[in-house]
Amino acid sequence: MDIDRLFDVTGKTALVTGGSGGIGYMIAEGLARAGCKVFIVSRKPAGIQAAADTLSAFGEVVAIAADLGTAEGIATVAEQVNAAGPLNILVNNAGTTWGAPIDEFPRDGFDKVLKLNLLAPFDLTRALLPALRKGASIEDPARVINIASIDGLKVPVWESYPYSATKAGLIHMGRHLGKFLAGEHISVNTIAPGFFPSKMTATIADFDNPEEMANIASPLGLRTGTTEDIAGAVIFLSSRAGAWLSGVTIPVGGGRGTVDS
């Protein structure tokens, strides 16, 4: 066993969606620092380019502006990445949420969350299969890593119906894809994060308010997730250490996956 290379991802090419901020930015930073070439994708050109400019201090980072909730956005990403050569790691992280009481919940809100959280990861994975196949081998499979949520494992505190439903669907879709892509040496795994600081979580909780933090506390303590927490899980799944895993879901939330609320 080469222990020095067990968690080594140097030289791999990765794509992280939703990479301009929050968990996606954390994952992209971790992979770039670990020696990967990283494509990052987000809807707003200025935001994704600014993120790439900052992350380029750690390695080669390429920005792609695309709305993954549309067929045109998926095609834009696929054309550029498939033409670039092998893709070793695809992190489907982009997502959104919508909360409202059930009597007031709009259909278009549900549709928006469904398109980005569940349909886009499926469509993008399918569109990037040419590059993933080039990056796959029996010794070192290509990796698809879906970023779901603790709320896909348990009922959330808020009335965010399509969010929890799509994240639960993403977990099961990962198992389903993992079964049928295994023969091509492509693994599919899922990470279910707890509370990490981001624009989306800032809309539902004030992390500087001790009372609110107590309501979302994890068994491992009153803190939110860090770059090391999420990047470490992604690097594990992307490295030799995670090469024989497929169809698994790893909760990264301080133990929140073990409690009901």
Q: Which residues are catalytic, by number? A: 163
In angstroms, the CA 24 to CA 91 distance is 8
In angstroms, the CA 138 to CA 241 distance is 14
Q: How far is CA 106 from CA 28, 100, 102, 166, 201, in A?
A: 33, 8, 9, 16, 21
Q: Which residues contact 98 (CB under 8 A, 6 or more apart)?
A: 105, 109, 110, 112, 113, 160, 162, 163
* Burial degree of 217 (CB within 10 A; 0-12, 13-18, 19+): middle
In angstroms, the CA 248 to CA 174 distance is 8
How many C-alpha atoms does 65 have within 13 Å on its Cβ side?
8
